[in-house]
Amino acid sequence: MDFLERISDTIWEIPVSYKEGMRVPARIYGSQQLIREMDAGVFDQVTNVATLPGITKYALCMPDGHFGYGFPIGGVAAMDIENGGVISPGGIGFDINCGMRLVVTNLTYKEVKPHIKQLVDNLYKQIPAGVGSKGFVDISRNEFRRVVEQGAQWCVRNDYGWEEDLELIEENGCFAGADASKISDRAIDRGANQIGTLGSGNHYLEVQVAKKEHIFDPEIAETFGITMPDQVVIMFHCGSRGFGHQVATDYLQTFLKVMDSKYGIKILDRELACAPFNSPEGQAYFAAMKCGINMSFANRQVILHRIREVFARVFGRSARDLGMNMVYDVAHNTAKLEQHKVDGKERSLLVHRKGSTRAFGPHMTDVPKQYQAVGQPVIIGGSMETGSYLLAGVETGAETFFSTAHGSGRTMSRTKARKTWRGEQLQKDMAAKGIYVRSTSWSGLAEEAGAAYKNIDDVIAATELAGLCKRVVRLTPIGNIKG
The CA-based angle 153-250-243, given to 5 degrees, is 35
Give the C-alpha separation, 421 to 255, whole Å.
40
Does 299 carry a binding-site annotation? no
Q: 245 catalytic, yes or no? A: no
Does 91 carry a binding-site annotation? no
Does 158 carry a binding-site annotation? no
Helices 141-150 and 280-315 meet at what angle, rounded to 10?
100
Q: List, as one string, the DSSP characters of 129-173.
A: -STT---S----HHHHHHHHHHTHHHHHHTTSS-GGGGGGBGGGG
Q: Tell which residue, 483, 463, 298, has the closest CA to residue 397.
A: 463
Residue 158 contacts residue 274 (beta carbons within 8 Å)? no
Residue 21 contacts residue 15 (beta carbons within 8 Å)? no
Give the C-alpha separation, 274 to 260, whole Å.
10
Cβ-based neighbours of 435, under 8 Å, separated by 6 or more: 384, 385, 477, 478, 479, 480
DSSP-derived letter for residue 382 is -
Does 278 carry a binding-site annotation? no
DSSP-derived letter for residue 271 is G
Q: State the CB neighbour count (10 A cutoff) for residue 327.
A: 22
Does 95 carry a binding-site annotation? yes
- Percent helix, strand, coil in the chain, to 5, is 40, 25, 35
Does 333 carry a binding-site annotation? yes
Does 206 carry a binding-site annotation? yes
Residue 145 contacts residue 188 (beta carbons within 8 Å)? yes
Does 68 carry a binding-site annotation? no
Residue 376 contacts residue 367 (beta carbons within 8 Å)? yes
Query: One of 66, 305, 352, 406 is an active-site residue; which one?
Result: 406
CA distances 106 to 128, 162, 221, 352, Å, are 26, 17, 14, 37
Does 203 carry a binding-site annotation? yes
CA distances 98 to 29, 240, 295, Å, are 22, 7, 10
Does 381 carry a binding-site annotation? yes
Q: Where are the beta strands (DSSP E) in 394-442?
A: 403-404, 436-439
Identity at 105, one-letter amino acid code = T
Does 138 carry a binding-site annotation? no
Does 202 carry a binding-site annotation? yes
Does 245 carry a binding-site annotation? no
Residue 93 contacts residue 86 (beta carbons within 8 Å)? no
Does 383 carry a binding-site annotation? yes
Pairing of strands 231-238, 99-108: antiparallel
Q: State the CB neighbour count (10 A cutoff) for residue 3.
A: 13
Does 290 carry a binding-site annotation? no
CA distances 376 to 101, 186, 393, 450, Å, are 13, 36, 5, 28
Catalytic annotation, residues: 406
List the binding residues: 95, 202-206, 237, 332-333, 381-384, 388, 406-409, 482
List the binding residues for Mn(2+): 95, 203, 237, 332
List the binding residues for GMP: 202-206, 332-333, 381-384, 388, 406-409, 482
